[in-house]
A and B are shown apart, each in its own frame.
Chain A
Amino acid sequence: MENPENVIEVRNLEINFHTYAGEVKAIRDVSFDLRKGETLAIVGESGSGKSVTTRSLMGLLAPNAEIKKGSIMFHGDDIIKKSEKEMQHIRGKDIAMIFQDPMTSLDPTMRIGMQIAEPLMKHKGLKKKEAIAQALEMLKLVGITNPEGRINDYPYQFSGGMRQRIVIAIALVCYPEVLIADEPTTALDVTIQAQILDLMKDLQNRIDTSIIFITHDLGVVAGMADRVAVMYAGKIVEYGTVDEIFFNPQHPYTWGLLNSMPTLDTEGGSLSAIPGTPPDLLDPPVGDAFAARSDYAMKIDTQQEPPFFKVSDTHYAATWLLHPDAPKVTPPAEIVRRQQKFAAMQKPEAPIKSDTKE
């Protein structure tokens, strides 16, 4: 491990999918770190590779996927090289996952108490009685009212929000070091979503888990993340602290994302949509994959792939606009507004950092 604070280090990951039409290059040279106790949000559209990346962390890739290159270091071991059997010991114990749909991730024929207790019996070798007792504690922790009365209920007897709480209880019952949450609130109503997000933050503080949070909802990211990685077309195009990404974004794609959302102040007129659709990764474009949809594209974008340029110690972006020779461009008005806010935030006596837990 390059940095002792890192729990997971992903380096130069490349994953292809074999399909009838050819090889889909789903992940193209992705590297990132996950630090202890932090929440790293991976943001991107469908097909950007965010879910594939995290599935590779769990060793749960589809059979037609092939890891071409790279490493995923966890506790000094490369997860990619582990056998399915070894992965089964890691999954649920050290790295747990929450999926989008709370209904399909629960076994409809099993009492919820048993579903929560199962990982304890499997990974920690607890007796059934002890495991059920801990499951009860977990149910209290995730805020199920009357846990004693409900521990023997079946999933269908719970509402969507309650089910997602149970899914979280199952994921956290072994106190995993890493929790991967793949769009955990997308299927939920906003009021329920807010509750679940609060619960996740609260639990993270209590059991000191690192969270990888995958979502396409920038509002959720703003509330949850310590650091953010923005993915586009199988690559990370920008990463930094949550304030840096939201208030000082550098990549035109990040600009486009932030700009296409109506904010509290957006009035009339039209939203600034990003035109077109993401490229087909069967045949990824040369250079910057976002060039075709970018208003700021330059000739070099179609010729050479931009490397990461450093914005600050924690903030990097892969766009040629950051090259010293590149012309200065003015980002969209909304981004300028955000950058002004960032500048104002930097001025006070002590620089405001995001509220990372240290």
Chain B
Amino acid sequence: MPDERKKILEVHHLKQYFNVGKKDEVRAVDDVSFDIYEGETFGLVGESGSGKTTCGRAIIRLYDPTDGEIIFNGKDISKLKGKKEMHEFRREMQMIFQDPYASLNPRMKVKDIVAEGIDIHGLAKDDADRTKQVEDLLETVGLNKDHSSRYPHEFSGGQRQRIGIARALAVEPKFIIADEPISALDVSIQAQVVNLMKELQVKQNLTYLFIAHDLSMVKYISDRIGVMHYGKILEIGPADEVYGHPLHDYTKSLISAVPVPDPEFERNRKQVAYDETAEMDGKKRRMVEIAPGHFVRAAEDEVAMYTQRAVDAGLITE
């Protein structure tokens, strides 16, 4: 099924290794490929050590990728040359961080934090314009403008996370990588931040790469989900399909472990165990489209099994 929508980001065979060639070489991201369409939210799920954060940081070029292509708006940003190109790219793509306590400089006033991007890219005509832009941004994320002369430590976690979002929005990016933006927040505040992100997505036509380990929230916010494990993507597909009818054993195990706020459900829950060694039998695996838009990392002799699973789940007919 050819997708008519425009791809804003294409990641091809991205590899991010650390300490290359040394004894302690780490293959944090190992041959990862996926596309993100304009205006959608792509959820990248995985446990700690799966390489999801590294993947996000490689895409936004906090790291220099070891190998592979990252095509953003038709341009390969893994090979950006020169300060000018990089500077332009920095306006297009922004990031929201996990820890709202570490992501704001404790020695800076909120207005200077939010205005950082405005200052770097010279987006304000004068001081009055700068102040106005900051106040508008604070209002956009639901904070009062008289908060702007306070310091980060005076705010709660949720408020800080909103300040971080305002900072990212200041440069009017098209694409935002949200690296576990809600996992450090309280439940009631998580919903606030997620709603804010959804609202902004519609208003400002943003595309999100949403990195998280919390499957229930990812499923809710994302259009499509990619599941990462040990530096590789094991399954990609529409959010409901991946969550409702996971094809890969690892995804099944992950979903079965998510606690649900329903005592009755919890009493009858069966956790599916996952055997990691299945991935390490040395077989050559690649992403295979089992159902339309639903890919699984599989070896040639496993394709039939996954296809059968998809048939059983009603995703495809024979």
Contact = CB atoms under 8 A, between A and B. Distances in A.
B263 A274 contact: no
A262 B188 contact: no
A266 B220 contact: yes
A273 B274 contact: no
B263 A223 contact: yes
Interface string A224-250: 010000000000000000110011000
Contact of B195 (A195, A266, A271): A271
B190 interface: yes
Given A256-B188, A272-B191, A190 B257 contact: yes
Contact of B259 (A194, A257, A260, A341): A194
Contacts of A189: 47-48, 213
Given A45-B186, A216-B187, A270 B198 contact: yes
A355 B267 contact: yes
Interface residues on B, range: 35 or more
Contacts of B219: 262
Contacts of B271: 191, 194-195, 198
In terms of DSSP, what is the predominant structure of the interface of chain B?
helix
B48 A273 contact: no
B263 A277 contact: no
A264 B239 CA distance: 12
A303 B281 CA distance: 68
Interface in B234-267: 253-254, 256-267
Nearest to B194: A271
A147 interface: no
B188 A273 contact: yes
A201 to B, nearest CB: 11
Contacts, number: 122
A223 B187 contact: no
Contacts of B47: 189-192
A270 B190 CA distance: 12
Given A218-B187, A262-B219, A160 B48 contact: yes
Give the size category of A's interface with B. 35 or more
Nearest to A266: B220
B185 to A, nearest CB: 9
A206 to B, nearest CB: 19
A219 B259 contact: yes
Nearest to A188: B48
B133 interface: no
Nearest to B244: A264
Nearest to A190: B257
A191 B254 contact: yes
Contacts of A278: 156
B124 interface: no
A261 B261 contact: yes
Interface in A245-288: 246-247, 256-258, 260-264, 266, 270-275, 277-278
B286 to A, nearest CB: 25
Contact of A194 (B159, B186, B257, B264): B257
A220 interface: yes
A152 interface: no
Interface in A170-219: 189-195, 197-198, 216-219
A343 B203 CA distance: 42
Contacts of B216: 219, 261-264
B189 interface: yes
Given A189-B48, A216-B186, A242 B274 contact: no
Interface string B145-187: 0000000000011110000000000000000000000000011
A72 to B, nearest CB: 26
Given A190-B258, A260-B187, A271-B195, A242 B156 contact: no
Nearest to B188: A274
B260 A219 contact: yes
B192 interface: yes
A88 interface: no
A260 B188 contact: yes
Contacts of B259: 190, 193-194, 197, 217, 219-220, 222-223
Contacts of B199: 270
Contacts of B262: 222, 246, 263
Nearest to A159: B49
Interface in A295-345: 341, 345
A143 interface: no
5 contacts: A222-B259, A222-B262, A257-B187, A263-B260, A277-B159
Question: Which 4 pairs, one residue from A and one from B, show the smallest C-beta to C-beta distance?
Answer: A219-B259, A273-B191, A223-B266, A260-B191
Interface of A: 45-47, 160, 189-195, 197-198, 216-223, 225, 242-243, 246-247, 256-258, 260-264, 266, 270-275, 277-278, 341, 345, 354-355
Given A261-B191, A274-B188, 14 more contacts: A45-B187, A160-B48, A194-B256, A216-B187, A218-B261, A222-B263, A246-B262, A247-B263, A257-B187, A261-B216, A271-B195, A277-B159, A278-B156, A345-B264
